[in-house]
Amino acid sequence: MSIDELMAAAKAVRERAHAPFSHFKVGCAIEDEHGRVYTGCNVENASYGLTLCAERVAVFKAISEGAGKLQRVAVVADTGTLTPPCGACRQILWEFCGDAELVLENLSGTRETMTVKQILPRPFDASFL
């Protein structure tokens, strides 16, 4: 799958975000080693603390649907400055995607590519347990 197709999937799912409080819609598409794509959008609720980010929704869907090794993550938000995953999402991305390619984009088409390790340089994982 091309990166443009993966970004298009993230943009499309972003439109399904449930963000009645913040109005901050985020979409995520994750590709596994077999080329299958799993998407997620943020889902808010009145308590905010129980809100799930798009990245975690996509990872959890991928795991529940039997994904292979997760290797590429695309995140889209409508911001002037590209929006990186929050701390909780960085942890989940590290544990389930490893040092996968991470591509951030906004609705204007500004794009940046990095790896999960670049945004979480000293991760905590099972190797410490």
**CA distances for 42 relative to 21, 51, 117, 121, angstroms:** 12, 7, 23, 25
pLDDT in tens, 64-106: 999 999 999 999 999 999 999 999 999 999 999 999 999 999 9
Contact 19, 52 (CB under 8 A): no
Name residue, tokens 């204007």: 108
Contact 7, 39 (CB under 8 A): no
Q: In the numeric block, which tokens belong to residue 40? A: 């997620």
Contact 93, 55 (CB under 8 A): yes
Q: In the numeric block, which tokens belong to residue 58? A: 């996509």
Higher pLDDT, 44 or 1: 44
| pLDDT over 90 at 24, yes or no | yes
Q: Is 3.40.140.10 the CATH number for 3-128?
A: yes
For the chain, what are the domain ranges? 3-128
pLDDT at 23: 96
Q: In the numeric block, which tokens belong to residue 87? A: 């701390």
Instruction: Please name the amino acid found at residue 50.
Output: L
* Catalytic option among 31, 44, 55, 105: 55
55 flagged as catalytic: yes
| pLDDT over 90 at 48, yes or no | no
Instruction: Please name the amino acid found at residue 76.
Output: V
